[in-house]
Copies of this chain bind each other. A is one copy, B any other.
């Protein structure tokens, strides 16, 4: 155990383990939006804090595109904690002394929940692109099955950023009666053509890699270069012009040039590092399936968002970040406007930040204040009403 981990364990949640729930065993397979059936489905999830006897303190935290079920605490021997550890723990925004927090890996993912890299029981080998197409609503219905399994009827809150925010919106639309409040961070009710374009170029980079082999690469070399290029594009969009200027400027790195046509700038080295390290932890087919689901998603089902919001009972807190150009504030304001039109109880705050879209993982102080006050107001003295 490192010293850093030791200190963090004392202050935070401590060691955690991912748990698994499997359902939809054939012939009771799970029906997808595509009309196809899938099963069995395993869901990887983690929980933090203790539930009240009636789960009135339960908060679901859906993850962003490349996230996983490990939102907080430490895995044995890990070099860093879960992806939203700074927000989840004793005394933190999602205070585990009060709340019971659940996070699960999405359907189609590659971190424990069934996805294209899982074994297709009929074939005895990974699904690859035989995995059925999935949608954000499919992901949410799988999460609902997990909550059924845990015995949670109604959530105190649901909170997520980016693709996590899309899932939050979908929970509100699909299960309005199961959600008392929601925190919607740096997201969009539907992707703009610019957002679709960035994802599409990432998909093209993967498909262009001869190692992709129509998705059948699991017994050989995966499409490392294509996936790496896709991730590099992603990282540019997660940062801001200002945050890159501050972090890198035009400084040259110590590693020399990554290739003859690089100039040896630190920003070039950073992209290579980020691209290559992503390949170790993410599956290229999951990249394809999940980005397609994100681009396809429209919370308003092609109509007006205010119409699908009319049955909402939840209170909403909507947050965006000033320098986030991937999910610009106007997209959050579109959601706010729909809430107002539908008579939904909504608060909105644009947080000043130079971190770009990454701010939802980095601007902890401001988010902590806003989220903890919001949850306190909803939770009140405890017990669901």
Give the B-binding residues of A (Cβ under 8 A).
129, 133, 190-194, 196-198, 200-201, 203-205, 207-210, 225-226, 228-229, 232-233, 236, 239-241, 244-245, 247-250, 259-263, 265-268, 271-272, 275, 288-289, 291-292, 295-296, 298, 325, 328
Contacts and interface: CB of A to CB of B under 8 A. Distances in A.
Contacts of A259: 203, 207
Contacts of A295: 263, 265
A249 B191 CA distance: 10
A201 B325 CA distance: 19
Nearest to A232: B201
A262 B201 contact: no
A326 to B, nearest CB: 10
B241 A261 contact: no
Contacts of A288: 261
B205 A229 contact: yes
Given A241-B328, A289-B261, A296-B263, A268 B208 contact: no
B193 A265 contact: yes
B196 A265 contact: yes
A292 B263 contact: yes
Nearest to A295: B263
A197 B129 contact: no
A208 B207 contact: no
A250 B300 CA distance: 13
A196 B268 contact: yes
A292 to B, nearest CB: 5
Given A193-B245, A194-B236, A244-B197, A262 B203 contact: yes
A203 to B, nearest CB: 5
Given A201-B271, A210-B210, A241-B325, 6 more contacts: A196-B263, A196-B265, A203-B261, A204-B232, A208-B226, A250-B298
**Binding site secondary structure of chain A:** helix
A272 B205 CA distance: 12
A275 to B, nearest CB: 7
Nearest to A330: B241
25 contacts: A192-B245, A193-B245, A193-B248, A193-B250, A193-B267, A194-B240, A197-B244, A197-B268, A201-B229, A201-B236, A204-B225, A204-B272, A204-B275, A205-B208, A205-B229, A208-B209, A208-B225, A210-B210, A233-B233, A250-B298, A261-B292, A263-B292, A263-B295, A265-B295, A325-B325
Nearest to A206: B261
A289 B271 CA distance: 19
A236 B292 contact: no
B263 A197 contact: no
Contacts of A292: 261-263
B250 A200 contact: no
B225 A271 contact: no
A144 B279 CA distance: 47
A275 B271 CA distance: 22
A271 B197 contact: yes
Contacts of A232: 197, 200-201, 204
> Which among A205, A209, A259, A266 has the greatest number of chain B C-beta atoms within 10 A?
A205
Contacts of A205: 205, 208, 229
Nearest to A224: B208
Given A193-B249, A241-B192, A244-B192, A198 B236 contact: yes
